[in-house]
Amino acid sequence: MSFKAYIQNVQVKSGKTAEDFFRIATEKGFIVDGKIVASHKQLLEWLKSDIGLGHVHANFIIAYLRLRTHDPKVSEQMKKWAYETGYQDSE
């Protein structure tokens, strides 16, 4: 599945855009000064319990947030897949 398709599926399921997730994560203090300060576990718990995403979609949103913040934890393989299948920095 492509990055773009995942984004669309999550939006249909949650009613939230990728930008909404970034904004909410920032409001909740998970992202500070453009950097993720929360652990993967904290982000996963938030997305699964508060938002109601399943495990795969929650992990996808975490990957999106890591890409968006240029987090060094994003693998080169993930970056390559994301950019080749629809991710754009301007999202």
Q: 86 in the Ramachandran plot: left (φ > 0), alpha (ψ -120 to 50) or beta?
A: left
User: Domain coordinates of the chain in residue numbers?
Assistant: 3-83
Query: Could you say which residues of the chain have pLDDT below 70?
Result: 90-91
pTM of structure: 0.92
How crowded is the C-beta side of 57, counted as CA atoms within 13 Å? 22
pLDDT given at position 90: 57
DSSP 8-state assignment for residue 30: S
Which residue in 8, 20, 15, 32 sits closest to 87, CA to CA? 8
Q: What is the structure's pLDDT at 88?
A: 87
Dihedral-angle region of residue 16 (phi above 0 means left; psi in -120 to 50 means alpha; beta otherwise): beta
